[in-house]
Chains A and B, each alone.
Chain A
Amino acid sequence: MNWVNAVVQGLLLGGLFALFACGLSLLFGVVGVINLAHGDFAVLGAYVAVLLLPSTATNALWALLFVPPLFGFFGYLLQRTLLQRSLEISPLTTLLVTFGLSVVVQNGLLEAFSADSHSFNVGSLVTSSFKVDEQLQVSYLRLGVLLVAIAVLSVLSLFLARSRTGIQIRAVADDREAAQMSGVNTRHIVGVAAAIAFATVALAGLAYGMTAQFAPYSGSALLLFAFEAVVIGGIGSLWGTLGGGLILGLAQSIGFQIDPSLGVLAGHLVFLGVLAFRPTGLVPARAAA
């Protein structure tokens, strides 16, 4: 092992975290929902793929075609029903509701699929990589995840900056009532934002399932990583989220390089360090993602 390798692998891992974080960030920025079931929904997405793919031999890349749209639809419905309803009571209620959903999803998956780990079949992609030098190999799959993360963030930024719906989403994030008095159907717009967030969650869950084994309880750790990426990068900034994801990936990878049991802890400590020493901008501004 060498340090260059640790840095490169860390950046690749960071792409996955950024992909996880962007849904969390969007949902909070626009909808005002902190989704404690975020990680569990990602894992649910992976299991939905397991369920719907015709056989375990089918290449899981096909799931990319139908699971994210399915989750987008699911996110829209969830927002328009349960989440909307709980938000009208208070943000803290929403928090508790998503926490309850998290427990329901985890244990539902446990009942349906047992505690055994699953993994996807992605054909030869799982092992193929290119060699930079003797000590540095880059997996096509992991590189692909990072590129997908960058692509998703780019498309999302462009969508929020240019499209009519995107501008309305940002307007709602700024001032929901003012958007309403300008004629924006805020409930629908918030639902659309939730749909996008859920589609990216499903995408992140599939990416995770292709690069690692997943089990019903995997979601909790994923939520924490996504959250850390958001806070490290600066709450409310989409590209900051990418930066936060990369920093978190680096911290875990370098920690792992020092001592394999240190990986996750190093990430947490970097997060706490940011919280302790760079608290400015950490108080969530309800700005657009």
Chain B
Amino acid sequence: MTAVPALEVRALTARHGQLTAVDGVGFSVPAGSVFALVGANGAGKSTLLRTIAGLHRPVAGSVHLHGDDVTATGPERRVGRGLVLVPEGRRLFPSLSVHENLRVGLARRRPGQWDIDRVLDLFPWMKERRNQPAGQLSGGEQQAVAIGRALVANPSVLLLDEISLGLAPVVVQRIYGLLPALLTTGMTVVLVEQDVSQALAVADQVQCLLEGRTVLDGVPAQLTGPQIEAAYFGLAGAGR
């Protein structure tokens, strides 16, 4: 008997008007692992993540969280069931302070080891600047607060959308350095990343999207550079 996956996506299709942004994508993520979605700009990665989080209504397919179908569940209720998204572009509440941003994250907090104090321990700089408006923080600091805001809800599945976008390499390294700490708490991570080498370095499993479709699916160690390159750019012979 195989264990129930933490997150399972079945033949999900999502549209923006006439455009099919996600076309029949499916995957399954075992609990406690890291799953990476890579692909070029406009490949449909963010739409896929938003659809999983419930912010975008799919036209077909389903999303299962720990075996339960949550396709019809509203986004805020998915948070309460352990599925939390750290969105592209951070999306902090700019007029709220750092501390208030974290407090909003408590709205549907599940029991667990994460709370505001623990986030403040993880990012010690936040302690002194907890009353500063989030809109005044640097990009890296905002990303940290966005992750913290998601963590205080004690997610079982954390969706990370382009967390390295627009950040200095050293900041990206620091943020990715957090992943092991999250995984030891049993959290499952699904991340969208444009930086393929970054994604391959941390992921247990990787899927490459092109124009909304899965063009490559595998374990990083077994994929070759040219294979990934071909899938990423949609070159012929990429195993379509």
Which residues of A does B touch, CB under 8 Å? 164, 167-168, 170-171, 173-175, 177-186, 287-288
Contact = CB atoms under 8 A, between A and B. Distances in A.
A183 B93 contact: no
Contacts of A180: 55, 74-76
B100 A167 contact: yes
A contacts with B: majority SS: helix
B104 A184 contact: yes
Nearest to B79: A183
Contacts of B75: 180-181
B87 to A, nearest CB: 6
A185 B101 CA distance: 16
Nearest to B107: A183
B96 A182 contact: no
A182 B55 contact: no
11 contacts: A167-B100, A173-B95, A174-B96, A175-B91, A181-B75, A181-B79, A181-B91, A182-B104, A182-B107, A182-B149, A183-B84
Given A171-B104, A177-B91, A183 B76 contact: yes
Contacts of B212: none
Interface string B59-96: 00000000000000011100110001101000111111
Interface string B138-178: 00000000000110010000000000000000000000000
Contacts of A186: 76
Contacts of B104: 167-168, 171, 179, 182, 184
A183 B105 contact: yes
Instruction: Give 8 nearest A-B pairs by CB, closest first.
Output: A183-B79, A183-B108, A174-B93, A178-B91, A183-B107, A171-B104, A184-B107, A171-B93
Task: Report, as a range, how many residues of chain B touch the other chain.
Answer: 20 to 34
B187 interface: no
Contact of B95 (A164, A178, A185, A288): A288
Interface string B11-35: 0000000000000000000000000
Contacts of A174: 93-96
Nearest to B155: A183
- The residue in A174, A185, A186, A288 that gathers the most chain B C-beta atoms within 10 A of its C-beta is A174
Contacts of A164: 103, 106
A167 B96 contact: yes
Nearest to B100: A167
- The residue in B76, B94, B109 that gathers the most chain A C-beta atoms within 10 A of its C-beta is B76
A170 B85 contact: no
Given A177-B91, A287-B95, A288-B95, A183 B103 contact: no
A177 B164 CA distance: 21
Given A181-B84, A182-B107, A183-B108, A175 B93 contact: yes
A58 B43 CA distance: 70
Given A178-B91, A178-B93, A183 B153 contact: yes
Contacts of B100: 167, 170-171
B53 interface: yes
